[in-house]
Structure 1
Amino acid sequence: RKKGSVCSNCGSAASTLWRRNMLGETVCNACGLYHKLHGINRPMTMRKDAIQTRKRR
């Protein structure tokens, strides 16, 4: 994980994967995937403080 990385869209400092947007800025996984799917930046109202984990069998 990158030290000191901050998402340029939502300001999050914790992410499982860091991506780059069209301008080359660092974005978190959630913001990167949202932009790729919808073509717009992820709204701040969707931001969560905790990273969700999945329960695996």
Structure 2
Amino acid sequence: GYGTAHCSPQDVDVPRIGDELAAARAMRSVARQLMREADSDLEAVGAGPGGAPGPGYGWPYTAP
């Protein structure tokens, strides 16, 4: 993942906060990549969201 943080000229320069923001943004990038992979894998086995109401993941519900 990749993340950056930039300090505005009027902000107090606190490098730790910038580091935390950059790390959080990188983790969010990794999470998005993992979700795209999981979505692709789910669709490949017929368990993707498919536009049906509900949580959108898992095997399709069939009534007993």
| Length-normalised TM-score, structure 2 | 0.22
Which structure: greater helix fraction? 2
Which structure: greater strand fraction? 1
Higher-Rg structure is: 2
